[in-house]
Structure 1
Amino acid sequence: MSGKDGINVKDFLIGGLIGGIVGSVTALLLAPKSGKELRGDLHEQVDVMKEKGAQWKDVAYEKGIEIGNVAKDKKAALVDSASEFVGVVKDKSGQLYETVSKQTKSVKETASAGFEATKQVAQKAGETFKSEAKDARDDVKQAADKSKEEVKEASETAKNKTEKIVHDAKKELKK
């Protein structure tokens, strides 16, 4: 889950969480409140951060399962497609054998024609397999990009909330 820009999402989230906690604790420690109120506020902030972390973890886990399921489905489709093409190749080879046995023409001409037909079927099977694999790769990439965007949005929301808490705390300190 690391991006090309060198930022690890996990490290970013941990840094945001630690920054939010440090900012909240600092604001609460500097606020003119009683010890009981301060502990209550700290406890509330810790609970909120725990809930957010659990939600992010659940979203990431669900997206990982979805991506895995898409990959499994594409793999099964590719295996089925390849099996069908093997059957086609076998059928063509059988037809070629019967044609060679029945015909009285030159063995070289018949073998050459059969080779060409088999080659075309094999090329078509290879192209189809390549296309299916590319489609599966694209689907998995899209799902990963979507998950990355959702984590980014969740991180941005957490950042904004943390900044609001710090801003509110600063306002409270100025009073």
Structure 2
Amino acid sequence: MTTEKSPQPGRPVMTAREAARLLRKDPRTIQRMIEDGELDGGAHQGPQRRRWFVYADQFNRSSAEITPAAHVADDVAAERDRLLLENADLRAELVSTQEAYRLVLASQATMHEALTDYQRSVDELLAGTTAFRDAAAHFQAAVSGLQSSNSKLNQVAGAYSDALHQGLIPGHAGTLGNASPNL
């Protein structure tokens, strides 16, 4: 066989690397097999080096070997399925993350409302404490006033008592000191 410079139209091809994987050989061995005519294929000039190709139809499908085109198609389908599953998983994760984010935002709003209510309650408690202090101060002033009034009332009662005692004693109070024994 001769080394072809371009593939025959309509005939399936694979790269020398794919053929090497399929035959479990080194790609340089495949190149030598093409040059020696053991495999149908060739090489066309690429931008930097030659690109080796092998015709896929020369591999036996009934044996353990699979044509690379079918193998590549299976690999592409498997990769597509894997990517679709991964995409579905990522979409589900995204939806879950978005829902968690919504819940966090709702919780944050509820927490902010609760903190506002808590602050309002603390302010009312402080106002009540201040009012209680003021009431206690008024109560204390009232108690002091009652004590003062009580003291004055006791003085007045004492003065009345003295006045009553003086009225009950016979004679003039001035004569008490000069009492005569002639009586």
* TM-score normalised by the chain length of structure 2: 0.36
* TM-score normalised by the chain length of structure 1: 0.37
Higher relative contact order (CA 8 A, sep 6+): 1
User: Would you tell me which structure has more helix in proportion to its own residues?
Assistant: 1
User: Would you tell me which structure has more strand in proportion to its own residues?
Assistant: 2
